[in-house]
Structure 1
Amino acid sequence: MALREIKSEITGSLWKLVKNPGDAVAEDEPIMVLESMKMEIPVVADAGGTVKEVRVKEGEPVSEGQVVAVIET
């Protein structure tokens, strides 16, 4: 098993958490939804596995390139 870091591609804030630690996630499935300039942008898993860690809370700011979640594949 390997750990994969999921990074934000934009600067914004965490609007909604879709998956929680311990949840199974499929490749290209949303983990969370970010809000930036009134647009909702999903952050998706780049591989299937289990969400091990979510590093931001709803409402918190997120920077481009920031690790927002970790998946165990």
Structure 2
Amino acid sequence: MLQITSTMAGTILQINISVGDQVERNQEMVILESMKMEIPVESQEAGIVKEIKVSEGDFVNEGDVLIVLE
């Protein structure tokens, strides 16, 4: 199981995956907005999306778990 975490504090602007999706390494999964910049959050490994722990519009802090892959 792999947890994808936020690299900085910001707002979840867009979620590009769904539970059950197969993702590839370096695939953009979430767009995080911080200081009016859009920062893509990519998967470090290939896997299947087991859980999405955030919703669009949520505020997250650095280190918060966004997505769980299996």
TM-score, scaled relative to structure 2:
0.96
The amino acid across from 1:25 in the alignment is V
2:6 aligns with 8
Q: Structure 1: which 5+ runs fail to align?
A: none
The amino acid across from 2:42 in the alignment is V
The amino acid across from 2:61 in the alignment is S
2:40 aligns with 42
Q: Structure 2: which 5+ runs fail to align?
A: none
Deviation string, structure 1 residues 16-54 (Cα, Å, up to 9, x no partner): 000111111000101111000110101111100111111
Identity of paired residues, percent?
41
CA distance in 2 between partners of 1:67 and 1:61 (Å): 12
Runs of 4+ in 1 over 6 A off after TM superposition: none
1:68 aligns with 66
Query: What count of residue pairs does the alignment treat as equivalent?
Result: 70
| RMSD after superposition | 0.6
